[in-house]
Amino acid sequence: MKYDLYLRGYVGGADFDADLVSRVLAKHKDQPVTVLIDSLGGSLATALSIAAAFREHGDVTAHFVGMNASAATIASMGAKTITIDECAMYLVHKCSAEFFQWASLNADQLQEQIDQLAQMKSDLEKMDLNVAQMYARKCKKPVADLLALMKTGGWLTAAEAHQWGFVDSLTDNHEDAVPVLTEDLAASMQANGLPLPDMEIEATPTPSGFNRLVEMLSSFFQRKDTTAEATNPKTSNDMNKLLPLLAVALAMQQQEFTLTDEKLSLTAEQADKLEAHLKTLTDQIAAQTKTIADKDSRIADLEKQLAEKPADETAQVINQPGKTTGMTAEEEFAITSQKAQELFDSLP
């Protein structure tokens, strides 16, 4: 399915930005707009702005995939139609604000702090009511019911989100990825106060060297605004900076690349050659890493041997209190340096 707008990541970040949404909607004035949303939330202010922009446009379809929470769900409330992949997850909860205080306060200062917290609590309660009213209009349910659900703050399956009325229908598009709860994602959710869904936590995959470079290249070429029609005047310049590096990797002339409409095209042969080059580099790094590990192990063994080996018997070394070795400082330094050099030379 083709989307006119992709909103991912932190609400308020570069890929989930109110200005980005406004630009795309302006390009599609009087036309239907399809939006894909995949986000764990973020800024309430940005979410409210986006919801208002959707509402003003009048013909926006928002589609949820993956795991979506808080501000991401609020942003969709201005859409004319909301759908969700049947494997996606949905979370609403009460608003929160950052708070941290570590200080020594007297009675007057403590009262000031109490007054500030009371004001913060009042503001958050107003935000909760405002959001609950938005949800209630969409779900066609009493505001009190939505406030109770927000207070519970548990994850909803796609089917449960549909039963509540947050979304209009479920979909089963094969291109929609099934959400995966990795260790890194779980840690990030806990750090931001989001409850974990009832899902198995999987180990965060470690990408291969080739995949890491592919991700880097994808990130490099990806436009800041991720719409199908958006343009970024800096893209061509940035790509031209990277072309010489690709030319070296492929042992080709830079002119042999096809660069049209700010897009770089590679033939299948060029792609295979790039992958082979990257695999060679990855293998070299792995070999060097093993060599370093082997040397570290060898050093540890030698240090252990030195610690266990008794001192050499010599007439010049007298290991008795109050007596000297019979050598000058220069001679002792020369012998120590020689032993250090011998130890170093013995390393493979």
Are 94 and 151 contacting, i.e. CB atoms less than 8 angstroms apart?
A: yes
Query: Tokens standing for 208?
Result: 């291969």
The reply to whether 123 falls in a domain is no
Domain check: are 66 and 195 in the same one? yes
Domain check: are 339 and 280 in the same one? no
For 27, the domain range is 5-93+153-205
Confidence at residue 36, expressed as pLDDT on a 0 to 100 scale? 96
**Region of residue 261 (phi > 0: left; psi between -120 and 50: alpha; otherwise: beta):** left
The reply to whether 301 falls in a domain is yes
Domain check: are 189 and 282 in the same one? no
Domain check: are 191 and 214 in the same one? no
Other residues' Cβ atoms within 10 Å of the Cβ of residue 259: 14
Domain check: are 187 and 215 in the same one? no
Domain termination site, one of 205, 230, 265: 205
Q: Domain count of the chain?
A: 3
For the whole model, what pTM was predicted?
0.55
**CATH number, domain at 166?**
3.90.226.10
Domain check: are 216 and 289 in the same one? yes
Domain check: are 228 and 158 in the same one? no
The reply to whether 300 falls in a domain is yes
The reply to whether 87 falls in a domain is yes
Which run of H or E residues covers position 220? helix 209-221
The reply to whether 174 falls in a domain is yes
Domain check: are 89 and 159 in the same one? yes
Provide the 3-class DSSP secondary structure of residue 45.
helix
Domain check: are 77 and 168 in the same one? yes
The reply to whether 148 falls in a domain is no
- Find all residues with CB under 8 Å of 322, minimum gap 6, and list them: none
The reply to whether 269 falls in a domain is yes
Provide the 3-class DSSP secondary structure of residue 264.
strand
Q: What is the pLDDT along the chain (348 residues), one digit of tens a residue?
A: 789 999 999 999 999 999 999 999 999 999 999 999 999 999 999 999 999 999 999 999 999 999 999 999 999 999 999 999 999 999 999 998 877 767 788 999 889 989 999 999 999 999 999 999 999 999 999 999 999 999 998 899 999 999 999 999 999 876 666 677 777 666 766 666 677 776 667 776 655 544 555 555 554 444 444 444 444 444 445 455 455 556 655 555 545 555 555 556 667 777 777 777 777 777 777 777 777 877 777 787 777 777 776 555 544 444 444 444 556 666 666 676 666 666 666 665
The reply to whether 225 falls in a domain is yes
Domain check: are 177 and 216 in the same one? no
- What are the Cα distances from residue 58, in Å, to 8, 45, 77, 226? 22, 20, 12, 21
Confidence at residue 191, expressed as pLDDT on a 0 to 100 scale? 63
Domain check: are 76 and 11 in the same one? yes
Strands 169-171 and 81-85: parallel
